[in-house]
Amino acid sequence: MTKKELIGKMAEASGITKVQAEKALNTFIDSVSTTLKSGDKVTLVGFGTFQVTERAGRQGINPRTKEKISIPARKSPKFVPGKALKEMVDKKKK
């Protein structure tokens, strides 16, 4: 599903315009991004948790030159699905 399709579904399900749904989705994305950037996590009970993980620095090899390179440590966003979301996705269609 694309962002445009999601906006359409949100608008249809909630009875608002696509412009309003797009504004709501963009606000949600901005809020989650800002929270993660500050180092906090966002927990939506039943859906999941957006959080930041630390990736350790490591040694790598440039595949072209076979030269060893140092890959620096970095932070990476991560989504951990909640129990209810896992169960819903795992249910067999009847």
65-84 pLDDT per residue, tens:
999 999 999 999 999 999 99
**Domain boundary assignment for the chain:** 3-89
Q: How does residue 91 score in pLDDT terms, banded at 50, 70 and 90?
A: confident
State how far the Cα of 21 lies from the Cα of 61, in Å rounded to an integer: 46
21-31 pLDDT per residue, tens:
999 999 999 99
List 71's β-bridge partners, or say none: 58
Q: For the domain 3-89, what is the CATH code?
A: 4.10.520.10
Verdict on whether the full-model pTM lies above 0.85: no
